Structure 1
């Protein structure tokens, strides 16, 4: 592997953080209800929106993620949850700090079977010579338990909607126009007691908590008259994720790149992370 690609490993993990944007919460089957202080009409509206979102299989989205340590990173593409959580997006290369390994202004990013794939410049030499995709397993970012907690559709926008059904202090903040559409703005807080298995992702001691300082998730959702979300915003510690839904559709198919073109850097990154912890 060339020094240029090796030195850029932090870009890959940052990009993984950015791309893990569904930030959903655990499904209704195991979540704990916390509606004592919630607006019951708001909860009913969110329940309808959750059911409608879940019934559809995918969405075309525009998203911005701010990790709290650098400027916002924009992405656009398809998220699908009808048959497990996958996505296919284009990300701003410079904003994600990946220009050292990709000279294109946008980076093609896929999420399939718990792993992130990044389309980069072909490796010019070394064991990965000629390969033009990088693979990073989700466990590198979230830890093994966290990655398992995000399996299935638990990381998807649909799962985020489920989480709002069990949020505390849900409020109706009134009507607002978003992307030319009249919406109702709702807000709720999901604390660690109501994250279920997602405590392994965001709870105290998790890699994400250490990186973002997250102890709860503040969620805002703008729902249109058709009971579908128009915008979703999540505040997770210092990280803020915003997602605009342009179009909903059927379940989309997203496939991993050919293995012959893919350099799996999971172990390389894990070793470098371990070395950094030892040095720190």
Structure 2
């Protein structure tokens, strides 16, 4: 009887152990499963961001409100049309005081054009100097960003479309859920480009590797039409925010007439060389 009892007890214990083992957590298996789930999620996020990037590139232009904060003063806001279908160009209104351009423009806002690699500022005609009697001030991007930075603005580089293209270099991506932005329901994605991959973004954001930033965090909100509603980029002390609307609006940005333009590129380059 004792032998039978012992055998029965061993049998029940073995059965219970087997059942418990079947329901218990296997660390190796769970880790592999979680890794697979993360990889699957990342693939879905990147697929969604790729669709948004392709759609943005295809439509070629948008109404954008862009705010740039370099961490040294009042953020500068520019509101208007950005085009990248045939080279990067824009036609925007900029806050005069935030850009510290009050000496050249009395109005609270200043019209700014960017076309063929040069900036054009709508200024008040000056009494003397290069801007005497001129309505526009021209500054080549090379005088602002140097030759390397200027090249980074060639083609569609530097445009909102280029910012979207930069998402493909992200190593860490996540879906932060649905939110309402500018009256639209959008999915909030976050992508982080680490220092190792930042060099790949030089064409879109010239000088990133010299900015002191160790990573770039890019938040983008994508609507049901696979288009960005908002994008926020942070690298180092700089933060750039863009709100998008009216994609695909046909626009051609033209440089002002030469007779109405004073070119300060050489003067600024000389001032820069002199320190």
CA-based RMSD of the aligned residues comes to 2.0
Question: Given that residues 57 and 252 in structure 1 are in contact (C-alpha distance below 8 angstroms), is that contact kept between their aligned partners in structure 2?
Answer: no
What is aligned with 2:231? 232
What is aligned with 1:268? 267
SS at match of 1:101: coil
Tell which has more relative contact order, 1 or 2 (C-alpha 8 A, sep 6+). 1
For these two proteins, the number of residue pairs brought into alignment is 236
The CA deviation at 1:126 is 2.9
- Larger fraction in helix: 2
Residue ranges of structure 1 left out of the alignment (5+ in a row) = 1-34
TM-score relative to the length of structure 1: 0.79
Deviations 1:57-104 (A, max 9, x none): 210111211121001222210001111110000001111111111001
Match of 2:43 among 37, 40, 44: 40
The CA deviation at 1:129 is 1.4
Q: How does 1:1-280 map to 2 (within 5 A)?
A: 39-194=42-197, 195-196=199-200, 198=202, 201-205=206-210, 209=211, 213-276=212-275
- Taking a change above 3 Å as real, the CA distance of residues 150 and 127 of structure 1, as seen in their structure-2 partners, is closer
CA distance, structure 2, for counterparts of residue 38 and residue 273 of structure 1: 48
CA distance, structure 1, for counterparts of residue 259 and residue 39 of structure 2: 54
The CA deviation at 1:187 is 1.1
Residue ranges of structure 2 left out of the alignment (5+ in a row) = 1-37
SS at match of 1:88: strand
Choose 1 or 2 for highest CA Rg.
Answer: 2
The CA deviation at 1:197 is 6.4
The CA deviation at 1:36 is 7.7
Question: Given that residues 37 and 169 in structure 1 are in contact (C-alpha distance below 8 angstroms), is that contact kept between their aligned partners in structure 2?
Answer: no
Question: Given that residues 54 and 158 in structure 1 are in contact (C-alpha distance below 8 angstroms), is that contact kept between their aligned partners in structure 2?
Answer: yes
Extract structure 1 runs of 4+ deviating beyond 6 A.
Answer: 35-38
